[in-house]
Amino acid sequence: TMVQIQKSEKKAVYRYLLQEGVIVFHKDFTTQPHKGTNVPNIHVRALLRSLKDRGLVELVFNWQYFYYFINNEGKKFLSEFLGLTEEVVPLTWKKDEKRQYEHIIEDRGKRVRREREGQPQGERRGGRGGPRGERRREEGEKPQA
């Protein structure tokens, strides 16, 4: 079916996709407009299907939701279409500066979460502490083969 889409709606969807790097919407096209763009979902779907057919975005469909991710060619196309410079980078492509933790493997082979500039955070509570079979061997039972 042919969908008439206004240029302002098209620009809103493209601007949102370039800014965020991904656009997500529910498969239900009849109820509400897309929350980030205020454009009806059927129009968003038509625009993104066109971009997908041209190889500018990639689609993942899961649990009745469409996830469209922009790729390098799509970023170039949308930057040119919107008249923006190439320096505009989608949020999903930026490295998270708030990441505080790194995983370190100790000499015993366990992964420990540590703050980057602080003390170790330790292990999660409730762990078993060792191989599963030790308790049975201590009680005198034979381990199952």
How big is the chain, counted in residues? 145
Has residue 108 got a pLDDT over 70?
Answer: no
Using one digit for the tens of pLDDT, what is the confidence trace for 38-61? 898 889 889 999 999 999 999 999
Taking 80 as the threshold, does the pLDDT of residue 113 lie above it?
no
pLDDT, mean over the chain? 77
Q: What is the DSSP string of 5-64?
A: --HHHHHHHHHHHHHHSEEEEES--SS-B-TTT--BHHHHHHHHHHHHHTTSEEEEEETT
* Structure token pair of residue 33: 């407009």
- In this prediction, residue 31 carries a pLDDT of 67
pLDDT at 80: 92
Of 6, 64, 57, which is closest to residue 31 (Cα–Cα)? 64
Q: What is the pLDDT of residue 27?
A: 85
pTM for the predicted model, two decimal places: 0.63
Q: How confident is the model at residue 111 (pLDDT cuts 50, 70, 90)?
A: low
The type of residue at 5 is I
Residue 133 has pLDDT above 90, yes or no: no
User: CATH for 7-92?
Assistant: 1.10.10.10
pLDDT at 93: 75
pLDDT digits (tens, 9 = 90+) for 2-11: 778 899 999 9
pLDDT above 50: residue 119? no
pLDDT given for residue 1 in this prediction? 56
- H or E element that contains 80: helix 72-82
pLDDT (mean) for 79-85: 89
